[in-house]
Chains A and B, each alone.
Chain A
Amino acid sequence: MSQLAQQLVNGLMIGCLYALIAVGYTMVYGIIELINFAFGELFMFGAFITIMMMSPDISLFGQTVGMPHLNFFLAIIIAMVVVGIMGVVIERLAYRPLRNAPRLAALISAIGVSILLQNVAQAIFGSQQVPFPDIPLFTTALGAPKAFSVGSVEITYFQVFVVVVTVTAMLLLNLFVQRTRMGRAMRASAQDKSTSALMGVNVNKVIAVTFLIGSAMGALAGGLYGGVYHSAWPLMGFNPGLKAFIAAVLGGIGNIPGAFLGGLLLGVIEALGSAYLPLGSQYRDAIAFVILILILSFRPSGLLGSTVSQKA
């Protein structure tokens, strides 16, 4: 019983991180119907930039460079801003020229960006894991994470922090999309780009803002993920990125509450599956893909999505 509860807690926390990345996928897909593979890599940059900002110095291109040594919260906000801008630049250079091209072209471009960013990160930070500095607020004097127990379940303060941050971010985002002028423009563009443009919506700006928000959310997830696993490495974004996309599909792509739900569900299923299925821990990474195949076979529109007509 306590193992079940412990797995649920761990699953929920990872699920929150999936949900944060899934937001980017779901918003971008909702508007320009592109699977932006690069979100996984932006997530990775989020983790690296958070580490950079928190450290007194770090090795870049093999040279030791002095760094601001900020606290975790400031560092992660800077990472969100920087990565958000990266997302906008990527959209401008690699996707906007292909806006009217067939999907295949944009998708291949997205894969190119993803490969590029992975290798650029490897060039900058090296291919080894970079340790994540301890966060004083969440770490005891001995370096162990601060935690409390509910019954026999151990919950760290950082896990609570991850969940609180995610829920807050999701609520703010939902408020933004539902209540603001830009949010309304986003919803309009997701329905019909050309009609929105005729109604005076600056679609290019809407798409840029979408990438900004999606990338910043990815960076937030990256910084938190780095804090959870105490490290960052150039290939760290690949699997969470894919799983976040699967989470977005599971919840219903184009749907922000769906991304949240999908992320949480996927995280929990994965945690439970790897604990209880035979050979589950070895095949942990395959669970998500099995879910994807099942959801595409039985409910392609996702849990909360409305039916989308099939376009060639």
Chain B
Amino acid sequence: MARTPKDNQTDAQPSGSGGYRAKLNPIASAMTGGGSTRSTRILLAVLLAFAVILPFLVGSNRWITLMTVVVIYVVLASGLNIVVGFTGLLDLGYVAFYAIGAYYTAIIFNNVLKVKYGVDLDAFWWLTWINFVVGGLVAALAGVLIGYPTLRVRGDYLAIMTLGFGEIIRILALNWVGLTRGPSGISGIPQPAILGYHFTTQKSLYFVGLALALLSLWAISRIVRSRIGRAWTAIREDEVAAEAMGIHTSRYKLLSYATGAFFAGAMGVFFGHYLNYISPSSFMLMESFLILSLVVLGGMGNLAGPVLGAIVWMGLQEWLRDVPFIQLHPETRGIAMGLVLVLLMVFRPQGLLGSMRVKLEMRPGSKDEAEREREVWSDAGS
């Protein structure tokens, strides 16, 4: 079929019976979170295989540690992607929820169980696993609390509010010495354990993290493909239209913050048990920007995007750590991060893997991708 440039008017009127399906299908597929579901699945399957096999292939703990860090950031980026990518709300204080999860579990285990009641923490091994959920819920509650005042105002105020919230949490962690021990942080958080088996080696901890990550990713993929996820996407695309279609936008926006916060909180709990030690310096603002960069790099509004973003960026960062120039000039990392954010927004707003739908949304001017996608669908339909 020879293509000729079309103007908007003919674009809006699909011809033939295949045309209507052609108009509906790309949107339907995009709503589920990715234009290319099959390739996404294959990618995930390959990654999963790598994730399971790799720890047995690499000898040094350094690489296993790196992989654990990547796994943590995969979940953080995927959780932030719910808010930024799927719902279209910019959250710049995401690390606060991570901090809340980490501090929650640290305070429960250290301040309450160990110091106040003086019990043997081994007897409470099961609490770690419950805390993954409870820590997430505490963070989700915080997400609702911070999200609530922003509902009435424009989306970009949200960015500042969340940023401020992130800073407030960090300032609290730094100054509320009675609760958080201030800058010296809380140590002695026990490692995860099951019925007397302690996850102490790097490899075993990595697998705990991986299991949590898989569970989180599975849950996120189910949520964004559900009615809730479709509502989020609708809000991202056009809030007024979504409201007119009967979507309770405030409720769904709050749900989006809460869901995003939940995964950060749960990962915060893991982080605390993984390192056995937390301090405010792990939850700086730069960390929020880093997580945002991972989402943007991989592709917003795409399930596989943040996963890829986290693997590429964190892997690169670790790999480049040994380069003498970067050791001498640590600011190179920040320069690269800033440049990547700007260049991606200007030249490739959909990220490395972004779905075509997001490209449409991010760049109203460029219609050619949509045209191509429509053509593929109408060919399939006829």
Contacts and interface: CB of A to CB of B under 8 A. Distances in A.
A289 B168 contact: yes
Choose among B88, B286, B349, B365 the residue with the greatest number of A CB atoms under 10 Å from its CB: B349
Contact of B335 (A101, A116, A242): A116
Choose among B296, B338, B340 the residue with the greatest number of A CB atoms under 10 Å from its CB: B338
Interface in A109-129: 109, 111-120, 122-123, 127
Contacts of B157: 249, 296, 300
B164 A292 contact: yes
Contact of B339 (A114, A116, A127, A283): A116
A260 B175 CA distance: 32
Interface in B258-298: 285-286, 289, 292, 296
A117 B329 contact: no
B364 A100 contact: yes
Contact of B164 (A100, A117, A289, A311): A289
A97 B333 CA distance: 25
Nearest to B89: A104
Nearest to B169: A286
A77 to B, nearest CB: 28
Interface stretch (B17-25, B45-53, B61-69, B148-156): B148-156
Interface in B338-373: 338-342, 345-346, 349, 361-365
Given A116-B335, A123-B335, A296-B153, A94 B342 contact: yes
Contact of B346 (A35, A109, A119, A300): A109
B292 A108 contact: yes
A107 interface: yes
Question: Interface of chain A, helix or strand or loop or mixed?
Answer: helix
A115 B334 contact: yes
A101 B363 contact: yes
A279 B171 CA distance: 12
A245 B161 CA distance: 11
A219 interface: no
Interface residues of A, number: 51
A113 B342 contact: yes
Interface size class, chain B: 35 or more
B122 interface: no
A31 interface: no
B264 to A, nearest CB: 19
Contacts of A106: 345
B238 interface: yes
Choose among B154, B164, B289, B345 the residue with the greatest number of A CB atoms under 10 Å from its CB: B345
A103 interface: yes
Contacts of B150: 296
A312 interface: yes
Contacts of A310: 152-154
A104 to B, nearest CB: 6
A2 B341 CA distance: 49
B160 interface: yes
A30 to B, nearest CB: 13
B219 interface: no
A112 B339 contact: yes
B346 A242 contact: no
B127 interface: no
Interface in A23-46: 33-35
Interface of B: 84, 88, 90, 92, 149-150, 152-157, 159-161, 163-165, 167-168, 171-172, 175, 235, 238-240, 285-286, 289, 292, 296, 300, 329, 331-335, 337-342, 345-346, 349, 361-365
Given A104-B362, A112-B339, 8 more contacts: A94-B342, A115-B286, A118-B338, A242-B164, A289-B161, A293-B164, A296-B161, A297-B149
